[in-house]
Structure 1
Amino acid sequence: MGVAHRRARLAFVSAVVLLAAACSSPADPAEDETSGAASGTSSVPDGGGPSYAVHTVEPPGEFDRIEPDDMLLESTETIPDELIRRIRNIRLEGRRAVSAITPLSLSSFSLENRAYRIAAVDVEGYRRFAGPDDNGARFQEAWERVAGGEIAVLDALKGRIPLDKDDYLAVGSGEQTSPIHVGAWTSQVGTIDAVVNEAWGEALDFPENNALVISTGAYSPQAVKEKLEPLLEDNMAITDLDIVAQTGIDPGASRTALVIGTFAEAVGVYRYTPIGGGRVQPDPAWVREHIVTETVPILGRLTCNKYMMPQLREALLEVQTLGLAHEIKYHVGCYYPRFIAGSTTLSNHSFGLAIDINSLENQRGTVGEMHPTVVQIFKKWGFAWGGDWTWTDPMHFELERIVQPG
């Protein structure tokens, strides 16, 4: 299965959110070719920014071997050492069926309505699973940059993930955003979009070692999975990355999203199951805890995340008070649990943390017709506006930071 990491890139496309024809366009801006990040020939910069000077670890040695990324085990908590030992000892035909394991500290961050999966990794161990091509395990400079405090991002996202002019990626949200310099565009394991070193993982408060990449060597991942599943606890799920590589998703497999940043509590631990048609089914307990239906000014009854609702209500009330209610004619959804069209990336609508307003007049890639005072009010109340994005989405407002009504 050693080519799984390459096929998995197909799951990440440029389409950005849903709910209306304008919100599901697959278009993306042209790729920026001016990036200073490593792409096989560039040298390590001499800068002294936050990515370089503070969050560093021991650099990796020279490339030694490649391990296929066959399965990804995810948990809502640190995976116990005893379970790791038992996984290592799984046997088929009297022989060990697990050839290699590396732990990850797996989380997510939200940016322009996409939840990107990020892992803090042991650089030496992780690189072996990143595949045999030129952007994978052999890409020495890339892994040296990660050890030096930079971030390596999935190569398929180059030109599609928004960076600032100095090639920094905003990891986190709101006031808790940490800009990390993109040091390389690489292959990644399975559905992971980006990796940083363990020092960054600690600084960003990632859940510690809550995932494992597993290689089954000469044995079928499906056969090993049958032995592995009885060992798992209720808060764990295993993904067959070979199936992901071929279809973009492991049908029926439970998965977990852990979002970092100022509104992490609004997401919590989001466990969900893909149910076809680009939709997901969140854990009913999560829905009961996080999703509410209430009446808000101008729009009436609305179903959203309970953490966003007070700020949304205050923003709409201020719009109404200033005599601008006529500028908000309708909405096309807030809570809508599904992937971004054509991908396995969750939209913020899945968490009930975004709302699309006046979609027909504010289509993707346009300036739109959103009244500037309405935009200003929403920003005041903690919302990011899609009209500011690299590839504009002026109908879209999403929670960026928590603001407590006074």
Structure 2
Amino acid sequence: MRQLVALVLCALVTGCGGYAREPASTAAAPPPIPVDWSVEDPGPPPAEPLRPDLLVLGTDTLPEPLVAEVLAVRGVRGSLRLSVASVAVAHQTITVAGADLAPYRRFAAKVTAESEPVWRALAAGEAVITHEIGRDLGQDLGGELALRDQSQDFRLRIGAYASTVPTIDALVNVRRAEQLGMVPGNAILLSVDSTDVRKTLERVTGGTASVQPLSEPARGAGGERQAAYLTGGSVAKAVGSFSYRYFPDGSVEPDARWVSANIRTETVPLLGRVTCHRRMLSQLRGALTEIERAGLGALVHPGEYGGCYVPRFIGRDPRRGLSLHTWGIAVDLNVPGNLPGTAGQIDRRVVSVFKKWGFSWGGDWRQPSTDPMHLELAALVES
């Protein structure tokens, strides 16, 4: 299922254009992902737990020779191959890991490793999420994450809230990761003897993967670079991946090479000059051109445009994930009359045209969590 464009967990609080949201689908309840495989054995609590120190992360499956070099570095005490993805949660992202449960359990915090309900939930194909994400969800335990791609919707039950490995917001078992289209084996979780090992690993990996410390509370602040990429599908491949650093005010600085290759400022109908991802501009221009030709141009208010490329965290809080505006693939239209939590005043004929041009609309999310100003790139459409 690599064709997943961006899994949208429609129950999470997100932010766009400076506002916070809790998107959720208004459509008929989507079917659950079928559980057609045997239950995975999570094993017993570990007798010798491992401290999660470093995460080696690439945008594709790590080559076996590179993996062998990483594991041969002196000072590496324990390791585990993972699938790790930046998953779109409406217009923010969270980090999801897919793992074989028994070896992952050795890296978990003591209270999590010893909690049998957590591992039974994971074995049954449910998601375990952090307490912080759970707080943003606003759902009771046992609620469902609504996931959608270009062609179909799914539900994934929230089996437990638990502390996970630092920087990982949600955990699923390896079979579920396959169903969700996550790249297999693109990360290695490491326990090491000292921080000096990191420098050696950075030389070994070169530009193939990033080496991220997991013991630092501030991920990327003040110069530490992190990797960001969306999982699966044509949109994810089109927008590309980048490294970034962030600052105390919650703003984000993507790698200058990625910005130069992908972010453009151009003139489009009705809105004038906009700055967006180059792959979105043609579809944005197509939608606005069709709206104008249909005599609906007065329904789009250029003075109320809320922006497109705005690199930052949701609410400028690093714990809440990157906004999709960091990729430049979302726009906010007619902001004052379409605030979060309302039905929105935007004309539905305008929305219909945008959907035709491959955009999804925040107004489709369940009240009081609607975000009718928000339109994001969900599928590639030829001009």
- TM superposition score normalised by structure 2: 0.82
Is 1:72 the counterpart of 2:55 in the alignment?
yes
Residue correspondence of structure 1 range 5-404 to structure 2 within 5 A = 16-19=14-17, 23-25=18-20, 49-54=32-37, 56=38, 58-65=40-47, 66-91=49-74, 97-133=75-111, 136-158=112-134, 160-161=136-137, 167-171=143-147, 173-175=149-151, 178-216=154-192, 219-220=193-194, 222-243=195-216, 245=217, 247-262=218-233, 263-330=235-302, 331-344=305-318, 345-390=321-366, 391-404=369-382
- Displacement of 1:89 in angstroms is 4.6
Stretches of structure 2 lacking an aligned partner (at least 5 in a row): 1-11, 24-30
> 3-state SS of the aligned residue for 2:119?
helix
- Structure 1: how far apart are the matches of 2:160 and 2:110? 16
- Structure 1: how far apart are the matches of 2:136 and 2:103? 28
Alignment check: 8 A CA contact 1:109 1:173 kept: no
Stretches of structure 1 lacking an aligned partner (at least 5 in a row): 1-13, 30-47, 92-96
> 3-state SS of the aligned residue for 1:175?
coil
C-alpha spacing 1:90/1:250, structure 2 compared with 1 (3 Å): farther
- Displacement of 1:74 in angstroms is 1.0
- Structure 2: how far apart are the matches of 1:274 and 1:137? 32
Q: Which residue of 1 aligns with 2:8?
A: none
| Alignment-mate amino acid for residue 237 of structure 1 | S
- Structure 2: how far apart are the matches of 1:276 and 1:199? 38
- Structure 2: how far apart are the matches of 1:165 and 1:215? 31
State the percentage of identical aligned residues. Answer: 35
- Displacement of 1:113 in angstroms is 0.7
- Structure 2: how far apart are the matches of 1:142 and 1:196? 11
- Displacement of 1:348 in angstroms is 0.9
- Structure 2: how far apart are the matches of 1:164 and 1:311? 38
Q: Which residue of 2 aligns with 1:8?
A: none
Alignment check: 8 A CA contact 2:22 2:370 kept: no
- Displacement of 1:334 in angstroms is 0.8
Q: Deviations over 1:46-99 (max 9, x none)?
A: xx9534224x563121212432222212123333444444444544xxxxx332
Structure 1 residues 294-303 or 396-405, which shifts more? 396-405
- Displacement of 1:178 in angstroms is 4.5
- Displacement of 1:163 in angstroms is 8.1
Alignment check: 8 A CA contact 1:15 1:340 kept: no
> 3-state SS of the aligned residue for 1:231?
helix
Q: Which residue of 1 aligns with 2:27?
A: none
| Alignment-mate amino acid for residue 356 of structure 2 | K
Structure 1 residues 311-320 or 286-295, which shifts more? 286-295
Superposition CA RMSD, Å: 3.0
Structure 1 residues 191-200 or 170-179, which shifts more? 170-179
| Alignment-mate amino acid for residue 232 of structure 1 | T
C-alpha spacing 1:336/1:316, structure 2 compared with 1 (3 Å): same
- TM superposition score normalised by structure 1: 0.78
